[in-house]
Chains A and B, each alone.
Chain A
């Protein structure tokens, strides 16, 4: 009997122990939190994940404030944010991608008007505001996209006897671009390339280049014509024929057959360009990290505006804007919010922070504290050159697109059209009618 009793109590003890063990594990996050507050940053850019972690470690070493950086895997930021925000240890600092993204998270966005990141903005109007007009989302990285090109290969083309134009300075319109691209495609064997453009992949890693970034151009010209600012309830699709022209040019003068586009990824496009198999690659300043150090040297990297054949495009510059807005979580404790503001202040004013942002991560920032920091990224320098030459930068209007669903509709219609299983009319429908439907749906649900 006695032995039995010992056994049961041992068993009871073990079970109790394992239970308390699991329960304790749930709460262990609180133990290392100092009374001064801590920072939890949910980072959006996987390319810079380790850079942010290193920067956070530097800050902790300097001030003793705990900074945790989590990075969502590529393409899963919204998913991760949604589940992280429901936790008790929610991110104190997160990102939204523009006005539409802010709409989702406006209940969590705190007023940033007294912060250093707002005060140091060179142009305070680029901050996103809430319904009361207070700045709640601050962009921290300005980015640029266009047609990245390989200067060496283009020079090789210009040297051909039948070249349509003979210098990059003449490449200032869609017509010139079309002639060059078709010329390269016709002489691809002589030039040693597989095509003029890299594959227009429609895998989810790559389709945003067309359904979002390229679609920005017809949208930009339409907004300009109709004097639209903000998000319209409907659009007309005035520049859809031009959209079709540039898209046709991409898919008919590329390294691959249009029918194989559905499975092509961003890595495919990257490697085609980095290995010198294609002359043009539609992507942005952020692609530099993936391209550099392979067959194309830095001096041979350039970026052209995306010409679609719109009136006045000779003065068109590159497409510049921001999709990276910092938002501080108003549900976090006062101490944590303050710690987050202090951390951001340090990031944009201290030497360590500025060096990491400008040189390691290669961002162009909208803050006045970065005057002495110039990027070494040749694609960023290309943008600076265009601005100096007085060209008008195309704005990022894709942040006003009504929803991810709208982009998907356009992307899928584009793919169907490219591979020959659909008509261009479906793109028009997805673009114009899809906009109205999605605008209504999202605003009814917002």
Chain B
């Protein structure tokens, strides 16, 4: 058996490895290389060293996008997780139609980001039209518009994870808590939340990375308007790469920095919430 694995293993892993090389490894290496060059098309490039990285930090729009994205990620991470947990908490109780409610909450996830963005643009502009304004009126309009959109889209998904986590808690724990006379509040904070910590880890990881990576919804809802005030990092990188002639390398350098930031944050967060898991 082992012999046939070594003999034939490549045959089955081969296509996936090849696809992974073509789809991820090669573009990644090429992308890092291009961040040190000046180019118009990716096939013709000239080495310029760290010049592009210098360009990144002298670009005010990048710094604005950086803190705007950070604020956006913090707000959405908190809101989505709290709402998703509350919804999940309500929907694990058995009553008629729980499944319908769960499906309804999950459904926004099945719609693509661009479509969602346009739908919400119409909805929000329809409402704001009452005051003769629109979602692109100012950066903070766009900010809250995107927060609403993101919550609407992701609460259902996180809810499913929380439901799974809540359902995996053995019921005898709740029973014994009740026998011991614990209040509902005590049960929630001392039993339920510590025991769903693995779900919290997964959900915060997903919401933080989603917040940082958000692109389609941003593009469709505001496209960074007005004055690039509602431009999240991913869109900023895209606009630098495609929108500014001669700045392709700077865009590429931004992308590398972006990768480092997201990777560092995701690892830090994972370590923090994991440590809570082992404690409980």
Contacts and interface: CB of A to CB of B under 8 A. Distances in A.
Given A15-B14, A83-B41, A263-B121, 8 more contacts: A107-B40, A203-B136, A204-B223, A404-B243, A404-B245, A412-B228, A416-B226, A419-B133
Interface stretch (A182-190, A212-220, A254-262): A254-262
Contacts of A100: 245
Given A12-B11, A15-B11, A15-B14, A262 B225 contact: yes
Main secondary structure of the interface of B (DSSP, over half): loop
B136 A262 contact: yes
Given A82-B41, A86-B41, A104 B246 contact: yes
Interface in A240-257: 256-257
Nearest to A430: B227
Interface of A: 8, 11-12, 15, 18-19, 78-79, 82-83, 85-86, 100, 103-105, 107, 202-204, 256-257, 259-260, 262-263, 403-405, 408, 412-413, 415-416, 419, 421, 441-442, 445-446
Q: Which of B131, B135, B138, B244 has the most C-beta atoms of chain A within 10 angstroms of its own C-beta?
A: B244
Interface string B111-130: 00000000001000100010
A405 B244 contact: yes
Nearest to B243: A404
Interface in B82-136: 121, 125, 129, 131-136
B242 interface: yes
B219 to A, nearest CB: 11
Given A107-B40, A403-B244, A446-B246, A419 B137 contact: yes
Contacts of B132: 256-257, 259-260
Contacts, number: 94
A347 to B, nearest CB: 26
B245 A78 contact: yes
Interface in B206-237: 223, 225-228
B8 interface: yes
24 contacts: A15-B15, A78-B242, A78-B243, A82-B41, A82-B242, A85-B40, A103-B245, A202-B225, A202-B226, A203-B225, A259-B131, A259-B132, A260-B129, A260-B133, A262-B135, A263-B121, A263-B125, A263-B136, A404-B244, A405-B243, A415-B226, A441-B246, A442-B245, A445-B247
B8 A263 contact: no
Contact of B134 (A19, A82, A263, A445): A263
Given A259-B132, A416-B227, A421 B14 contact: no
Contacts of A262: 133-137, 225-226
A203 B121 CA distance: 12
A79 B11 contact: no
Given A260-B133, A262-B226, A86 B42 contact: yes
A104 B226 contact: no
A107 B129 CA distance: 48
Contacts of B2: none
Contact of A259 (B43, B135, B137, B225): B137
B74 to A, nearest CB: 25
A263 B8 CA distance: 59
A38 to B, nearest CB: 20
Which of B40, B43, B135 has the largest count of A CB atoms less than 10 A from its CB? B40
Nearest to B137: A262
A104 B245 contact: yes
A107 B44 contact: yes
A415 B42 CA distance: 35
B254 interface: no
Contacts of A78: 242-243, 245
Nearest to A19: B15
